[in-house]
Chain A
Amino acid sequence: DSGVTQTPKHLITATGQRVTLRCSPRSGDLSVYWYQQSLDQGLQFLIQYYNGEERAKGNILERFSAQQFPDLHSELNLSSLELGDSALYFCASSPEYQETQYFGPGTRLLVL
């Protein structure tokens, strides 16, 4: 158990819908990262937040957005969902200025 929690574990929804994935980092970790793992794209970095502020952005679609709240939990919002958004979404966290990231169990999203 890495100490990073993600909810829900599974999500099934329809095209065009909007979903929110939630992540709670390890106690004391200020950074939260979101990654997408799909069959054709592998593990891709989406976005990083540090202590409530966006720190780095990767291959995140405009239909996706994220935020980190004062209690340091983070949410990833996916809207206008397409079939290709079906993937495993990971959240990871790390302490301040640390390179080692600890991953949550992931949320499996299936868009039908």
Chain B
Amino acid sequence: AQTVTQSQPEMSVQEAETVTLSCTYDTSESDYYLFWYKQPPSRQMILVIRQEAYKQQNATENRFSVNFQKAAKSFSLKISDSQLGDAAMYFCAYWAGTASKLTFGTGTRLQVTL
């Protein structure tokens, strides 16, 4: 079964600094997708970034980028120039067509301090 592990329950970053959230996953599939979702205090689940496993190039969305290491089954999220609005729970998620569901990690709570 696919599993997603986020080993950092909480992280803290100062405003304008850079932070990296870690995620590892386990799968026997060769074709899959990985996602980072943000859940602010409003509890809405917001898609931050996605990565296709067959693409070697790391995905980037403005201040958010990923470091995708397929062989190591690692998928970290880097947030540059952190802003107060980035404070939220961040969930790493995995999707493969064979299962069609998203499998989530347990989340990392990110604090942004002044």
Contacts and interface: CB of A to CB of B under 8 A. Distances in A.
Contacts of A64: none
B45 A99 contact: no
B109 interface: no
Which 3 residue pairs spanning A and B have beta carbons closest together? A103-B45, A45-B101, A43-B104
A42 interface: yes
Interface residues of A, number: 23
B59 interface: no
9 contacts: A33-B102, A45-B101, A55-B100, A99-B33, A99-B97, A100-B33, A103-B45, A105-B43, A108-B43
A100 B106 contact: no
Contact of A102 (B42, B47, B103, B106): B47
Contact of A43 (B91, B95, B100): B91
Interface of B: 33, 35, 37, 42-47, 50, 91, 95, 97, 99-104, 106-107
A45 B44 contact: no
B97 A42 contact: no
A33 B33 contact: no
A90 B45 contact: yes
Contacts of B44: 2, 103, 105-106
Contacts of A14: none
B79 to A, nearest CB: 20
B102 A101 contact: yes
**Which has the most chain A C-beta neighbours within 10 Å: B37, B47, B50?**
B47
